[in-house]
Structure 1
Amino acid sequence: MSRSTPGPESTVPFDDEAVLLVGHGSRREKSNDQVRDLAAALEERLGVPVDAGFLELAAPTIPDAIAGLAGTVSEVTVVPLSLFAASHVKNDVPLAVKRARSEHEDLTVNNGAHLGIHPALIDLLDDRAASVEADLGVDRDADDVVVVLCARGSSDPDANGDVHKLARLLDEGRAFERVEPSFIGVTEPLLDETLHTVAKRRPDAVVVLPYMLGDGVLTQRIRDGAATFDDEYPYVDAGAGDPLGTDPRLLDVLGDRWQEARTGSVEMSCDTCKYKVELDGYEEDVGGARAMLRALTHQETHADRENVDDDPHVHDAPEKHVAVCTNQTCAAEGAPAVMESLRQAVRDSDECDARVTRSSCLGRCGEGPMVAVYPDGVWYGGVDAEDTDRIVSSHLDRDRIVSDLVDQTL
């Protein structure tokens, strides 16, 4: 599946490119080491340098990792180690790539796709199910075996829909009684509900497959759920399988995603993406600019990461987040001075609870410098350093929009 030589479309010398494998990041070093182990194995498979980077909670971050590679190669392909395309893949990684392109003009940065649905992953799940069946002493060809494929769950319907598709593909052509999609959180059906529904059909066995990369807290919850179900329903044998881990078949998928990105053939599910089209119940999520600002806020508001042990997503968020476009056009119009002036005004204010950060292009070239205030969704255009005191004293301190500066509202 994966090729270890450049495709015909590539003009980059094979020794002049690198791959950045991007994991989510965790306080559990075991999880971070899994990403690093996969990066090392992928490097051996592809024959090109492969570094590991992280979205949050671990080092290096994507910008730092790309900066480290920029001086040694002319092309970097970013490949997310993500199972499905939710907000990290659709917002956070593209934002980091866009920033890298503006900060390293001589470096080509390709943005790859998530793992997604791939034949190698279906084969891997089939083997995970077979291992549990062996432990339970059942045979899918002779016994009624139901598989529950349990994923993390997302607020993105596109990602959740792919779980259902993956379950169907695992079911097709195999002798399972059925394969049910389920989730451990965020969306429905939740694992407990699915298991109790399955029990009513009185199968011989239930195989619960955690569709997770790492063996962490959520995987343990899935195991606990399967064990509780096994105790509550003695007439059904139940067991949970292992997560995907560092199975070599992941390298097949990652290799394909690398080739797609470096040859310009990445395909994303834009027809069902809540940031691209209006889906019932998700109307407020439509809009690339809005999604970009949400990504900015998510990146900037994770705080106290070394000191919080219980929840990896504890936020110490300011009331306001201010993004200043410092891309080429806005920079030429004085955006750096605007940003520093805003930061000083925020520091001088006794009432303001805001964080000011730089942003890559906000898509309003020629109308800048652009300043976006979130979560209010107010964008100011043509801002001068002299305007920043008004933005802070009126908008950030007292929630009074500076109307004469407004470019647009989301």
Structure 2
Amino acid sequence: MTATQAAPGDLDDEAVLLVGHGSRREKSNEQVRTLAADLEARLGVPVDAGFLELAKPAIPDAIAGLAAAVSRITVVQLSLFAASHVKNDVPLAVQRARADHDGLTVHNGAHLGIHPALVDLLDDRAAAVERSLGVDREADDVAVVLCARGSSDPDANGDAHKLARLLYEGRAFDRVEASFIGVTGPVLDETLHTVAKGRPDAVVVLPYMLGDGVLTGRIRDRTAEFDAEYPYVDAAAGDPLGTDPRLLDVLGDRWQEARTDSVDMSCDTCKYKVELDGYEEDAGGARAMLRALTHREAHADREAVDDDPHVHDAPDHHVAVCTNQTCAADGAPAVLERLRQAARDSDACDARITRSSCLGRCGEGPMVAVSPDGVWYGGVDAADADRIVSSHLDRDRIVSDLVDQTL
């Protein structure tokens, strides 16, 4: 019996929820639904698709729909790496579902992560690009750049480098480098120019993403620009992972791990649990919760904007304004609007300003939390909003007389 199989009797009264990120591009959402249907055929249990944001059904609605028919649900995450969605958002949704549905057992699975099937898939993607360029890694010097989206979580970025190393091991590539299209470095342009110094015969760029969207388009554009700039190197970008059947191998293993309570997470290097150099301000559950809440509210604020693509190029600051009952009564809506207006009027401010639910400081608000700095301002009024923007957001100078606490 393989990792993706279970005894027939064990499958009674069980379903799977495949959780994707969600996109305003319906093609990306259909990819998740296609994988859900394929996974259902593979596992022999009902599999529905749900989404974190920007698409329907949301996780609570999807779980509620399944809960009417089964008593056990296993959540399987269609996320490449373990960043905030995997560590914060999905566990929060699962915990709420357990509280909302008496008698329902909900197992939470891990992300796709590092898996031999993914390494094999990337090897095939690289081989396809090699064929298009007319090169052979056994006879020519072929360099590979594995380009991921990039994250503010060191676990996710570290796994991208590990995956690149595993693709290199045992294969005749000249070198394999990890790179990113945003948020962190090294960015793709820098990596391509560095690789070019070794004068390889060809450079294969592999977008490490599930769907073909805005970011994969950027990767192709940058690769084409590099190819034109370096006539002595042939370069081309490959296809994303798509709905390749090998993804089902990984998802099946993650399903079996979750339903048997044998999920292993990278807690030893999780920035929310331990103080890592450079990420000390992120350690602690309160910070993780704030990030999850502000991220969710950011999408709620933009829900009605049809032409705003979901791009995660992070701003310098994320500002959360508590608009819960007590803070709202003390003038939080006016503070929120004044902050947004001041930010729009500023040439130096790079901040996303959103509503937040209760920040746990009732009676001391309106509360304004500025991340990633971990600075909370209390008793803020509309007039103070200008100072927060002009001093803190524009010049990184804390408005000391407003500080409530620094996480």
Task: Quickly name the TM-score band, shorter chain normalised.
Answer: 0.7 to 0.9
- Secondary structure of the corresponding residue to residue 115 of structure 1: coil
**Which amino acid in 2 is paired with 1:309?**
D
Alpha-carbon offset, residue 208 of structure 1 = 0.6
Equivalent position amino acid for 2:228 in 1: D
Residue 254 of structure 1 aligns with which residue? 251
1:339-350 to structure 2, matched below 5 A, reads 342=326, 345=329
* Structure 1 gap ranges (5+): 324-340, 363-367, 378-393, 400-407
Amino acid at match of 1:239: A
Query: Using a 3 Å threshold, how does the CA distance of structure 1 residues 132 and 280 change in structure 2: closer, same or farther?
Result: same
For residue 351 of structure 1, report the CA deviation from its aligned partner: 4.0
Q: Deviations over 1:277-321 (max 9, x none)?
A: 101111110002220222122113322324241432599x98523
* Residue in structure 2 matched with residue 34 of structure 1 by the alignment: 31
- Mapped to 2, the partners of 1:241 and 1:356 lie a distance apart of 40
* 2:345 counterpart residue number: none
Question: Structure 1's 110 and 152: CA in aligned 2 closer, same or farther, altered over 3 A?
Answer: same
Residues 128 and 397 of structure 1: is their aligned pair in 2 closer, same or farther, counting only changes over 3 Å? same
Instruction: Determine the structure 1 residue equivalent to 2:351.
Output: none
1:17 touches 1:76 (CA, 8 Å); kept in 2? yes
292 and 6 in structure 1: CA distance in 2 versus 1, 3 angstrom threshold: farther
- The one-letter code of the counterpart of 2:17 is L
Quote the residue 1:385 is aligned against: none
User: In structure 2, what is the Cα distance between the partners aligned to 1:349 and 1:57?
Assistant: 26
Relative to structure 1, the CA distance from residue 56 to residue 243 in structure 2 (aligned partners, 3 Å threshold; closer, same or farther) is same
Can you give the 5+ residue segments of structure 2 that lack an aligned partner in the other structure? 337-353, 372-377, 385-404
Q: 2:212 aligns with which of 194, 211, 215?
A: 215
Q: Is the 8 A contact 1:343 1:356 kept in 2?
A: no
The 3 A distance-change label for structure 1 pair 201 and 275 is: same
- Which residue among 61, 82, 85 is the counterpart of 2:82? 85
Cα RMSD (Å) of the superposition? 2.9
Q: CA deviation at 1:47?
A: 0.6
Match of 1:108 in 2: 105
Aligned residue type for 1:283: E
Report the number of matched residues.
Answer: 355
1:83 aligned partner, one-letter code: L
Q: Is the 8 A contact 2:320 2:370 kept in 1?
A: no
After TM superposition, give the deviation of residue 374 of structure 1 in Å.
Answer: 6.3
The alpha-carbon distance between structure 1 residues 260 and 322, as it changes in their structure 2 partners (threshold 3 A), is farther
Give the whole-Å Cα distance in 2 for the aligned partners of 1:82 and 1:38. Answer: 13
Choose which of 165, 181, 186 in structure 2 pairs with 1:168. Answer: 165
Report the equivalent of 2:369: 375
2:179 and 2:319 mapped to 1: Cα distance? 35
Q: Deviations over 1:369-410 (max 9, x none)?
A: xx9966279xxxxxxxxxxxxxxxx846589xxxxxxxx984
Corresponding position of 2:307: 309
- Could you tell me how far apart the structure 2 residues matched to 1:352 and 1:242 are? 46
Aligned equivalents of 1:28, 1:168: Cα separation in 2: 32
Q: In structure 1, what is the Cα distance between the partners aligned to 2:91 and 2:323?
A: 20
Distance in 1 (alpha carbons) for counterparts of 2:160 and 2:305: 34
Counting only pairs closer than 5 Å after superposition, residues 230-379 of structure 1 correspond to structure 2 as: 230-302=227-299, 303-312=301-310, 319-321=320-322, 342=326, 345=329, 351=334, 353=336, 357=357, 375=369
Alignment of 1:183-222 (within 5 A): 183-222=180-219
TM-score (norm 2): 0.80
On the 8 A contact 2:205/2:235 being kept in 1, the answer is: yes
Which one is further off, 241-250 or 72-81? 72-81
Aligned: 1:118 with 2:149: no
Paired position in structure 1 for 2:344: none
- Cα distance change, pair 152–212 in 1 and its aligned pair in 2 (3 A): same
- CA distance change for structure 1 residues 107 and 373 in 2, over 3 Å: closer, same or farther? farther
TM-score, normalised via structure 1 length: 0.80
Letter in 1 for 2:75: V
* Deviation of 1:198 (Å): 0.9
